[in-house]
Structure 1
Amino acid sequence: MRADVEAAKADIEQSIELLRRRLDWDVALRKLDELNARVEDPTLWDKAEEAQAVMRERTRLANQVSAVQSLERDLADAVGYAELADEEGDEALLEEARGQLKAIKDRAARAELEALLSGEADGNDAYVEINAGAGGTESNDWANMLLRMYSRWANDHGMEVDVLEETPGEQAGIKSVTLQVKGTNAYGWLKTEAGVHRLVRISPFDSNARRQTSFASVWVYPVVDDNIEIEINPADVRTDTYRASGAGGQHVNKTDSAVRLTHIPTGIAVACQTQRSQHQNRDQAWKMLKARLYELELEKREAAQAAIEEQKTDIGWGHQIRSYVLQPYQMVKDLRTEVETSDTQAVLDGDLDTFMGASLAQRVGATRGSTLDA
């Protein structure tokens, strides 16, 4: 077998071994069998919340086990093709096998990164808040571009996106939006996007076609289960109701159905306006507030363990995590990891995996070598 094929095979085998060790393979298989047995028990659904937690855990573990098994099967097939091609001197078939091995290697690398998502809430759904910075219409349009970018990323990964609150800009774009992204490891991936995002381009709203710099902030926090206890004193929460903006029909526009909750001790505020009744919006807003306070607690723990809180900044725009330059040249660069690409359109269309992966690896301080040596 050719040397390059042997090298690719060895790299993939090393990734698979790492994944098996991270999963504690034999334990994971036994646990999956237990979860499958519980799912088949009709009495499980007598307690809906417990059943949902079991289903989520089974899905998470089944996906991890399936990913490893799929890598093993596909590696065996690709190596078999390469050996056959080598024996017959079929260069076209050998090149096809090389392409298969490259694709498998890329999948294995992503699976390694996903294995790093071991944080307490990494597997949860996520809330994503996007707020336009100073700059009026230009920044509002940039915030809307980020909304599109994250929605496309989520859809490309089989995740569902719900808009919980949206404040439109006066002329174009949005002033702010809150999304709920539903999918496996949504928070684990999206938490790497928290921070200030900077755009440089020729303004489409400037008749003189001058170059403009715009900012928008992204804040990410996990959706928490009801069984996670977060104590909130109702006396510490101010409730405001107002008329919802944007789409929603006559009912939304004529009643004070939208709800904003402000947690006075921390200054954290959340809002929801997408439900038809004030009661429904209030319930959703309380869930969001609970999630924000939970995320704050996780942040405190993380900051105590490693000084990475500097990756997050407030809406003061004093620091950005990523720059998107469309003029005078094309470049998206992450200022934390130095990862960059000139394919700006792909990034704005939701191709964020390279940036997320690099940031995640840096965030947990993990490399293949340090993990294998552990």
Structure 2
Amino acid sequence: MTLLKKIKLQIICGNGGKDTEDLSNSFFKLYLNFFKNNNFNIISYNLVEKSILFSTQYYQYYIDNENIIYKIIRISPFCGKKQTSFLKTLFQIHQVETKYTLNKKDIIIEAKHSTGAGGQHANKTKSAVKITHKIFNISIEIEETRSFVQNLKIAIKKMEEKIQKIKLDRDNNKKNNSYKEANKISWSHFDRLINLHQNKYISLYVENKIIKYHIKNISEIPLDKIMNYKQNNKENGAF
């Protein structure tokens, strides 16, 4: 059985104002067309975020080889001068949020006397519940009903929701930190250099090799040939 995984591509702009924004749009369309033309399963895409969510069995190739920095040199369509821009393609496995289920081995359950309304019944029976999570070191007390079993169910549900939020906040912080690190595009380092010569042809510098293609704009870059070139050289032991 072929294993498919969801991969999210995000195109991150370096500094460069309108030129870099224009290029990021071009690269977004370039990759989107590449996925469509090669029959990838595209799940969703967002032009504003410059992101594409797709699934593939070759997910490891993109994670290992296509997280790269592009350096693009071209004549600006806005000012007519030569401009240098930087872009990064960030491929990450898309993590699906799953509901947290409490492991009862991780909690301490205590029965307590209710302090709320209920008269003598509240004082004589231990219907209130306190549960403490041993790993997260958080406690919840519930005395919403006169039933210990019902209060326990409510307490477990609230504990699951609370831990779910804690884990989600942690994951979001990790994603934000990862994005910030990815967004630190160095002006001195790049993996692929694209030099668009007077909008007539481009020189591609890939793995210290120069490849020339006669194309008119960024959207015509033959991504499949670049990736095949890199993959073939890997298989031949060049890298």
Interval of TM-score (by shorter of Structure 1 and Structure 2): 0.5 to 0.7
Whether contact under 8 Å (1:125, 1:184) holds in the other structure is no
1:322 and 2:232 are equivalent in the alignment:
no
1:182–1:337: structure 2 CA closer, same or farther, 3 Å change rule? farther
Q: What does residue 355 of structure 1 align with?
A: 226
Q: 1:10-159 counterparts in 2 under 5 A?
A: 54=1, 56-57=2-3, 124-159=5-40
Counterpart residue type for residue 366 of structure 1: E
**How big is each residue's C-alpha offset from its partner over 1:248-285, in whole Å with a ceiling of 9 and x where there is no partner?**
xxxxxxxxxxxx92228x82359xxxxxxxxxxxxxxx
Are residues 1:192 and 2:65 paired? yes
Q: In the alignment, what sits opposite 1:107?
A: none
CA distance in 1, matches of 2:7, 2:208: 23
**Alignment partner, residue 44 of structure 1:** none
CA RMSD of aligned residues (A): 3.8
Residue 316 of structure 1 aligns to a residue whose secondary structure is coil
Unaligned stretches of 5+ residues in structure 1:
1-53, 58-122, 168-175, 240-259, 271-311, 370-374
Aligned residue type for 1:348: S
Question: Tell me, which stretches of 5 or more residues in structure 2 are unaligned?
Answer: 99-162
CA distance in 2, matches of 1:183, 1:237: 26
Cα distance in 2 for residues equivalent to 1:238 and 1:226? 12
Tell me which of 261, 264, 273 is aligned to 2:172.
Answer: 261
Distance 1:166 1:261, change over 3 A: farther
Q: How does 1:236-255 map to 2 (within 5 A)?
A: 238=169
What is the aligned residue count? 172
Larger strand proportion, structure 1 or 2?
A: 2
User: Does the 8 A contact of 1:126 with 1:221 survive in 2?
Assistant: yes
2:69–2:89 contact (8 Å) kept in structure 1:
yes
Higher relative contact order by CA 8 Å / sep ≥ 6: 1 or 2?
2
Identity of aligned residues (%): 15
Deviation at 1:187, TM superposition (A): 5.0
Greater share of helix? 1
Residues 1:182 and 2:182 are matched in the alignment: no
Q: Is the 8 A contact 2:25 2:47 kept in 1?
A: no
Structure 2 match to 1:367: 236
Q: 1:352 to 1:193 in 2, by over 3 A?
A: same
Under a length normalisation based on structure 2, what TM-score does the superposition of the two structures give? 0.57
Q: Shift of the alpha carbon at 1:157?
A: 0.4
Q: TM-score, normalization: structure 1?
A: 0.39
Matched ranges for 1:284-299 at <5 A:
none
For the pair 1:213 / 2:84, whether they are aligned, the reply is: yes
